[in-house]
Amino acid sequence: MQNFTDDELSIAKSVDLVAVASHLGYTPKKIGNYYTLKEMDSMRIYNRSHWCRFSRRYDKGENGGSQIDFLRVFAGMDVKEAVFWLLDFAGYRRTEAVQKPQLKYQVTSGSEKEKPKKEFLLPLKAPNNSYLYEYLTKDRAISKEVVDFFVNQGLIYESRPYHNVVFKGNDSKGVTRFASMRGVFDRQGKPFKCDVSGNDKNYGFNLVNEESTELLVYEAAIDLMSYMDIHRDYSSNMLALGMVADAPLETFLREHPNIQSITFCLDNDKAGREATQQLMRKYYELGYEVRDEPPPKGYKDYNEWLVKKKKELEKSVTVLDLQKEKCHQL
Protein backbone atom coordinates (compact mmCIF):
# COMPACT_ATOMS: atom_id res chain seq x y z
CA MET A 1 0.00 0.00 0.00
CA GLN A 2 3.02 2.28 0.27
CA ASN A 3 2.76 3.11 -3.46
CA PHE A 4 -0.44 5.08 -2.84
CA THR A 5 -0.89 8.43 -1.14
CA ASP A 6 -3.26 8.83 1.81
CA ASP A 7 -5.60 10.85 -0.42
CA GLU A 8 -5.66 8.10 -3.04
CA LEU A 9 -6.45 5.44 -0.45
CA SER A 10 -9.17 7.69 0.96
CA ILE A 11 -10.70 8.11 -2.50
CA ALA A 12 -10.59 4.34 -3.09
CA LYS A 13 -12.34 3.71 0.23
CA SER A 14 -14.98 6.37 -0.50
CA VAL A 15 -16.28 4.58 -3.62
CA ASP A 16 -19.88 3.39 -3.33
CA LEU A 17 -19.65 -0.37 -2.77
CA VAL A 18 -23.23 -0.88 -3.99
CA ALA A 19 -22.28 0.70 -7.32
CA VAL A 20 -19.15 -1.48 -7.47
CA ALA A 21 -21.17 -4.66 -6.93
CA SER A 22 -23.69 -3.59 -9.58
CA HIS A 23 -20.88 -2.83 -12.03
CA LEU A 24 -19.48 -6.33 -11.49
CA GLY A 25 -22.81 -7.87 -12.49
CA TYR A 26 -24.43 -8.42 -9.10
CA THR A 27 -27.97 -7.27 -8.27
CA PRO A 28 -28.06 -5.16 -5.07
CA LYS A 29 -31.29 -5.12 -3.09
CA LYS A 30 -31.96 -2.71 -0.22
CA ILE A 31 -33.39 -4.23 2.95
CA GLY A 32 -33.81 -1.84 5.86
CA ASN A 33 -30.48 -0.18 6.62
CA TYR A 34 -28.32 -2.50 4.51
CA TYR A 35 -28.04 -4.01 1.03
CA THR A 36 -27.86 -7.65 0.05
CA LEU A 37 -27.19 -9.24 -3.33
CA LYS A 38 -29.73 -11.31 -5.24
CA GLU A 39 -26.97 -13.75 -6.11
CA MET A 40 -25.73 -14.04 -2.47
CA ASP A 41 -28.46 -13.58 0.11
CA SER A 42 -25.97 -14.01 2.97
CA MET A 43 -24.19 -10.82 1.85
CA ARG A 44 -24.64 -7.60 3.81
CA ILE A 45 -23.38 -4.21 2.61
CA TYR A 46 -23.47 -1.50 5.29
CA ASN A 47 -23.15 2.26 4.78
CA ARG A 48 -22.41 1.50 1.10
CA SER A 49 -18.78 1.11 2.15
CA HIS A 50 -18.13 -2.25 3.88
CA TRP A 51 -19.51 -5.77 3.67
CA CYS A 52 -19.75 -9.10 5.42
CA ARG A 53 -20.85 -12.56 4.29
CA PHE A 54 -22.42 -14.60 7.07
CA SER A 55 -22.13 -17.88 5.19
CA ARG A 56 -18.34 -17.51 5.38
CA ARG A 57 -18.09 -15.87 8.79
CA TYR A 58 -15.42 -18.35 9.91
CA ASP A 59 -13.27 -17.96 6.77
CA LYS A 60 -10.81 -15.30 7.78
CA GLY A 61 -10.00 -12.93 4.93
CA GLU A 62 -13.00 -14.09 2.91
CA ASN A 63 -15.88 -12.99 5.11
CA GLY A 64 -15.94 -9.22 4.81
CA GLY A 65 -14.10 -5.92 4.75
CA SER A 66 -13.81 -2.82 2.59
CA GLN A 67 -14.27 -2.13 -1.11
CA ILE A 68 -10.69 -3.36 -1.63
CA ASP A 69 -11.48 -6.68 0.06
CA PHE A 70 -14.64 -7.05 -2.04
CA LEU A 71 -12.62 -6.82 -5.26
CA ARG A 72 -9.97 -9.11 -3.85
CA VAL A 73 -12.52 -11.83 -2.96
CA PHE A 74 -15.04 -11.52 -5.79
CA ALA A 75 -12.93 -10.20 -8.68
CA GLY A 76 -9.69 -12.06 -7.96
CA MET A 77 -7.61 -8.88 -7.68
CA ASP A 78 -4.67 -8.33 -5.40
CA VAL A 79 -4.71 -5.27 -3.14
CA LYS A 80 -2.75 -3.08 -5.53
CA GLU A 81 -4.95 -3.98 -8.49
CA ALA A 82 -8.06 -3.32 -6.41
CA VAL A 83 -6.92 0.18 -5.40
CA PHE A 84 -6.07 1.04 -9.01
CA TRP A 85 -9.48 -0.29 -10.12
CA LEU A 86 -11.34 1.77 -7.50
CA LEU A 87 -9.44 4.94 -8.39
CA ASP A 88 -10.28 4.36 -12.03
CA PHE A 89 -13.92 3.65 -11.16
CA ALA A 90 -14.06 6.96 -9.29
CA GLY A 91 -12.68 8.75 -12.34
CA TYR A 92 -9.30 9.43 -10.75
CA ARG A 93 -6.40 9.19 -13.14
CA ARG A 94 -3.11 7.98 -11.68
CA THR A 95 0.05 7.01 -13.50
CA GLU A 96 2.65 4.86 -11.81
CA ALA A 97 5.60 6.61 -13.37
CA VAL A 98 9.04 5.65 -12.08
CA GLN A 99 10.69 8.67 -10.53
CA LYS A 100 14.25 9.30 -11.60
CA PRO A 101 16.49 9.95 -8.60
CA GLN A 102 17.49 13.57 -8.13
CA LEU A 103 21.28 13.50 -8.31
CA LYS A 104 23.24 15.72 -5.99
CA TYR A 105 24.86 18.66 -7.80
CA GLN A 106 23.01 17.62 -11.00
CA VAL A 107 23.19 20.21 -13.80
CA THR A 108 19.89 20.65 -15.66
CA SER A 109 19.81 21.73 -19.26
CA GLY A 110 17.82 24.80 -20.16
CA SER A 111 17.27 23.43 -23.66
CA GLU A 112 15.02 20.56 -22.57
CA LYS A 113 11.81 20.47 -24.56
CA GLU A 114 8.59 21.19 -22.72
CA LYS A 115 6.21 18.28 -22.38
CA PRO A 116 3.42 18.47 -24.96
CA LYS A 117 0.10 19.68 -23.57
CA LYS A 118 -2.42 16.93 -23.05
CA GLU A 119 -5.40 16.90 -25.40
CA PHE A 120 -8.56 18.23 -23.77
CA LEU A 121 -11.29 15.62 -24.15
CA LEU A 122 -14.59 15.81 -22.30
CA PRO A 123 -15.72 12.61 -20.53
CA LEU A 124 -18.35 10.56 -22.34
CA LYS A 125 -21.98 11.30 -21.50
CA ALA A 126 -24.13 8.79 -19.65
CA PRO A 127 -27.43 7.74 -21.29
CA ASN A 128 -29.27 9.80 -18.67
CA ASN A 129 -28.54 12.05 -15.69
CA SER A 130 -30.15 9.93 -12.96
CA TYR A 131 -27.12 9.85 -10.63
CA LEU A 132 -26.51 13.56 -11.24
CA TYR A 133 -30.07 14.47 -10.22
CA GLU A 134 -30.03 12.22 -7.16
CA TYR A 135 -26.74 13.69 -5.94
CA LEU A 136 -27.48 17.37 -6.60
CA THR A 137 -31.11 17.35 -5.40
CA LYS A 138 -30.79 14.97 -2.44
CA ASP A 139 -27.22 15.24 -1.15
CA ARG A 140 -26.76 18.90 -2.10
CA ALA A 141 -30.40 20.03 -1.68
CA ILE A 142 -30.39 21.99 -4.96
CA SER A 143 -33.87 22.25 -6.44
CA LYS A 144 -34.76 20.25 -9.53
CA GLU A 145 -35.67 23.54 -11.23
CA VAL A 146 -32.11 24.82 -10.90
CA VAL A 147 -30.57 21.49 -11.92
CA ASP A 148 -32.91 21.39 -14.95
CA PHE A 149 -31.76 24.89 -15.88
CA PHE A 150 -28.08 23.95 -16.02
CA VAL A 151 -28.74 20.61 -17.74
CA ASN A 152 -30.82 22.37 -20.40
CA GLN A 153 -28.08 24.98 -20.83
CA GLY A 154 -25.66 22.13 -21.52
CA LEU A 155 -23.38 23.26 -18.69
CA ILE A 156 -23.57 20.08 -16.60
CA TYR A 157 -24.02 16.40 -17.41
CA GLU A 158 -23.38 12.93 -15.99
CA SER A 159 -20.35 11.06 -17.30
CA ARG A 160 -20.00 7.38 -18.04
CA PRO A 161 -19.00 4.89 -16.85
CA TYR A 162 -18.28 6.50 -13.45
CA HIS A 163 -21.38 8.72 -13.02
CA ASN A 164 -19.41 11.86 -12.12
CA VAL A 165 -21.05 15.26 -12.49
CA VAL A 166 -19.18 17.21 -15.17
CA PHE A 167 -19.18 21.03 -14.92
CA LYS A 168 -18.26 22.78 -18.17
CA GLY A 169 -16.61 26.19 -18.55
CA ASN A 170 -17.20 27.84 -21.93
CA ASP A 171 -15.51 30.81 -23.57
CA SER A 172 -17.38 33.80 -25.04
CA LYS A 173 -17.98 31.86 -28.27
CA GLY A 174 -19.55 28.92 -26.46
CA VAL A 175 -16.55 26.63 -26.86
CA THR A 176 -15.84 24.46 -23.79
CA ARG A 177 -12.35 25.24 -22.56
CA PHE A 178 -12.55 23.93 -19.01
CA ALA A 179 -14.27 21.05 -17.23
CA SER A 180 -14.19 19.66 -13.72
CA MET A 181 -15.67 16.48 -12.28
CA ARG A 182 -17.35 15.80 -8.97
CA GLY A 183 -18.02 12.26 -7.78
CA VAL A 184 -21.50 11.40 -6.56
CA PHE A 185 -20.44 8.60 -4.19
CA ASP A 186 -18.94 10.42 -1.22
CA ARG A 187 -21.16 9.42 1.66
CA GLN A 188 -18.11 7.89 3.31
CA GLY A 189 -14.54 9.20 3.23
CA LYS A 190 -12.97 11.80 1.00
CA PRO A 191 -15.04 12.99 -1.99
CA PHE A 192 -13.68 12.66 -5.50
CA LYS A 193 -12.98 15.96 -7.28
CA CYS A 194 -10.66 16.72 -10.17
CA ASP A 195 -10.27 18.80 -13.30
CA VAL A 196 -10.41 17.12 -16.70
CA SER A 197 -6.91 16.65 -18.12
CA GLY A 198 -5.75 19.17 -20.70
CA ASN A 199 -8.22 21.89 -19.79
CA ASP A 200 -7.48 25.61 -19.71
CA LYS A 201 -7.44 26.86 -16.12
CA ASN A 202 -7.90 30.43 -17.37
CA TYR A 203 -11.59 29.53 -17.64
CA GLY A 204 -14.16 28.45 -15.10
CA PHE A 205 -17.75 27.23 -14.83
CA ASN A 206 -19.83 30.26 -15.81
CA LEU A 207 -23.22 31.61 -16.78
CA VAL A 208 -23.47 34.58 -19.13
CA ASN A 209 -26.13 37.27 -19.57
CA GLU A 210 -24.84 39.93 -21.94
CA GLU A 211 -27.61 42.33 -20.84
CA SER A 212 -26.33 42.37 -17.25
CA THR A 213 -23.38 44.47 -16.09
CA GLU A 214 -22.99 42.60 -12.78
CA LEU A 215 -20.84 39.53 -12.16
CA LEU A 216 -21.13 37.22 -9.13
CA VAL A 217 -18.01 35.21 -8.28
CA TYR A 218 -17.86 31.94 -6.30
CA GLU A 219 -15.22 29.38 -5.42
CA ALA A 220 -17.17 26.27 -6.47
CA ALA A 221 -19.78 25.44 -9.10
CA ILE A 222 -22.10 23.88 -6.49
CA ASP A 223 -22.03 27.13 -4.48
CA LEU A 224 -22.96 29.04 -7.64
CA MET A 225 -25.96 26.74 -8.15
CA SER A 226 -26.88 26.98 -4.46
CA TYR A 227 -26.87 30.81 -4.57
CA MET A 228 -29.12 30.73 -7.63
CA ASP A 229 -31.52 28.42 -5.77
CA ILE A 230 -31.60 30.57 -2.63
CA HIS A 231 -32.02 33.92 -4.39
CA ARG A 232 -33.85 32.68 -7.52
CA ASP A 233 -31.34 34.67 -9.56
CA TYR A 234 -31.32 33.56 -13.20
CA SER A 235 -30.30 36.91 -14.68
CA SER A 236 -26.82 37.73 -13.32
CA ASN A 237 -23.50 36.75 -14.85
CA MET A 238 -21.95 34.09 -12.63
CA LEU A 239 -18.48 32.56 -12.44
CA ALA A 240 -16.99 29.77 -10.31
CA LEU A 241 -13.23 30.11 -10.00
CA GLY A 242 -12.66 26.51 -8.93
CA MET A 243 -10.01 27.96 -6.61
CA VAL A 244 -9.18 31.27 -4.92
CA ALA A 245 -6.83 32.43 -7.70
CA ASP A 246 -8.38 34.82 -10.21
CA ALA A 247 -7.13 33.70 -13.65
CA PRO A 248 -10.70 32.69 -14.69
CA LEU A 249 -11.97 36.08 -13.50
CA GLU A 250 -9.40 37.98 -15.56
CA THR A 251 -10.40 35.98 -18.64
CA PHE A 252 -14.13 36.49 -18.07
CA LEU A 253 -13.72 40.26 -17.71
CA ARG A 254 -11.57 40.42 -20.82
CA GLU A 255 -14.16 38.51 -22.86
CA HIS A 256 -17.11 40.42 -21.37
CA PRO A 257 -16.14 44.12 -21.23
CA ASN A 258 -19.71 45.11 -20.33
CA ILE A 259 -19.14 44.06 -16.69
CA GLN A 260 -19.06 47.06 -14.34
CA SER A 261 -19.55 45.54 -10.87
CA ILE A 262 -18.23 42.40 -9.21
CA THR A 263 -19.78 40.73 -6.16
CA PHE A 264 -17.52 38.22 -4.41
CA CYS A 265 -19.41 35.31 -2.83
CA LEU A 266 -16.41 33.33 -1.63
CA ASP A 267 -16.30 30.96 1.35
CA ASN A 268 -16.36 32.03 4.97
CA ASP A 269 -13.14 30.20 5.84
CA LYS A 270 -9.75 31.89 6.27
CA ALA A 271 -8.65 31.31 2.67
CA GLY A 272 -11.91 32.64 1.28
CA ARG A 273 -11.93 35.77 3.45
CA GLU A 274 -8.29 36.61 2.68
CA ALA A 275 -8.80 36.05 -1.05
CA THR A 276 -11.90 38.26 -0.99
CA GLN A 277 -10.02 41.19 0.52
CA GLN A 278 -7.16 40.87 -1.95
CA LEU A 279 -9.44 40.54 -4.98
CA MET A 280 -11.70 43.41 -3.93
CA ARG A 281 -8.69 45.67 -3.57
CA LYS A 282 -7.27 44.59 -6.94
CA TYR A 283 -10.47 45.04 -8.96
CA TYR A 284 -11.48 48.25 -7.20
CA GLU A 285 -8.16 49.72 -8.31
CA LEU A 286 -8.96 48.52 -11.84
CA GLY A 287 -12.14 50.60 -11.82
CA TYR A 288 -14.82 48.04 -10.97
CA GLU A 289 -17.49 48.44 -8.31
CA VAL A 290 -16.84 45.66 -5.80
CA ARG A 291 -18.94 44.09 -3.07
CA ASP A 292 -18.51 41.28 -0.55
CA GLU A 293 -21.46 38.90 -0.13
CA PRO A 294 -20.34 35.79 1.77
CA PRO A 295 -22.83 33.24 3.13
CA PRO A 296 -24.26 34.07 6.57
CA LYS A 297 -22.00 33.79 9.58
CA GLY A 298 -21.75 30.19 10.78
CA TYR A 299 -21.83 28.68 7.29
CA LYS A 300 -18.69 27.86 5.33
CA ASP A 301 -20.28 28.22 1.88
CA TYR A 302 -23.60 28.74 0.13
CA ASN A 303 -24.32 25.05 -0.27
CA GLU A 304 -23.90 24.42 3.45
CA TRP A 305 -26.41 27.23 4.04
CA LEU A 306 -28.84 25.83 1.45
CA VAL A 307 -28.71 22.31 2.89
CA LYS A 308 -29.42 23.65 6.39
CA LYS A 309 -32.31 25.84 5.15
CA LYS A 310 -33.91 22.92 3.32
CA LYS A 311 -33.61 20.66 6.38
CA GLU A 312 -35.18 23.33 8.61
CA LEU A 313 -38.00 23.78 6.09
CA GLU A 314 -38.67 20.03 5.94
CA LYS A 315 -38.70 19.88 9.74
CA SER A 316 -41.16 22.78 10.03
CA VAL A 317 -43.44 21.22 7.40
CA THR A 318 -43.38 17.91 9.30
CA VAL A 319 -44.28 19.67 12.56
CA LEU A 320 -47.10 21.56 10.81
CA ASP A 321 -48.47 18.33 9.34
CA LEU A 322 -48.42 16.70 12.78
CA GLN A 323 -50.26 19.68 14.28
CA LYS A 324 -52.91 19.52 11.52
CA GLU A 325 -53.32 15.78 12.10
CA LYS A 326 -53.73 16.37 15.83
CA CYS A 327 -56.38 19.04 15.21
CA HIS A 328 -58.35 16.67 12.99
CA GLN A 329 -58.32 14.08 15.75
CA LEU A 330 -59.79 16.49 18.30
pLDDT at site 133: 96
Mean pLDDT of the chain: 84
At 116-142, the pLDDT tens digits run: 667 899 999 999 999 999 999 999 999
Average pLDDT rounded to a whole number, residues 74-85: 83
pLDDT at site 224: 98
Q: Does domain 130-307 correspond to CATH entry 3.40.1360.10?
A: yes
Which of 27-41, 47-61, 193-207, 276-290 has the highest average model confidence (pLDDT)?
276-290
pLDDT at site 93: 59
At 234-247, the pLDDT tens digits run: 999 999 998 777 99
pLDDT at site 183: 87
The burial of 137, by beta-carbon neighbours within 10 Å (0-12 exposed, 13-18 middle, 19 or more buried), is given as middle
Among 134, 131, 126, 133, smallest CA distance to 161 is for 126
pLDDT at site 248: 94
At 244-302, the pLDDT tens digits run: 779 999 999 999 999 999 999 999 999 899 999 999 999 999 999 999 999 999 999 99
Q: Kindly report, as residue ranges, where domains of CATH 3.90.580.10 are found in the chain.
A: 6-89
- Among 3.90.950.10, 3.90.580.10, 3.40.640.10, 3.90.1570.10, what is the CATH number of 6-89? 3.90.580.10
At 90-117, the pLDDT tens digits run: 776 554 433 333 333 333 444 444 456 6
Sign of the four-CA dihedral 273, 166, 152, 310: negative
What confidence tier does 5 reach under pLDDT thresholds 50, 70, 90? confident
Question: 57 or 9: whose pLDDT is higher?
Answer: 9
pLDDT at site 319: 43
pTM: 0.65
% pLDDT > 70, the chain: 83
Measuring CA to CA, how many Å separate 237 from each of 132, 145, 241? 24, 18, 13
At 166-218, the pLDDT tens digits run: 999 999 999 999 999 998 876 555 567 888 888 898 999 999 999 999 999 99
DSSP string, 24-91: TT--EEEETTEEEETTEEEEEEETTTEEEEGGGTTSTTTSEESHHHHHHHHS---HHHHHHHHHHHTT
Measuring CA to CA, how many Å separate 108 from each of 105, 113, 232? 10, 12, 56
pLDDT at site 60: 64
pLDDT at site 283: 96
Q: Kindly report, as residue ranges, where domains of CATH 3.40.1360.10 are found in the chain.
A: 130-307
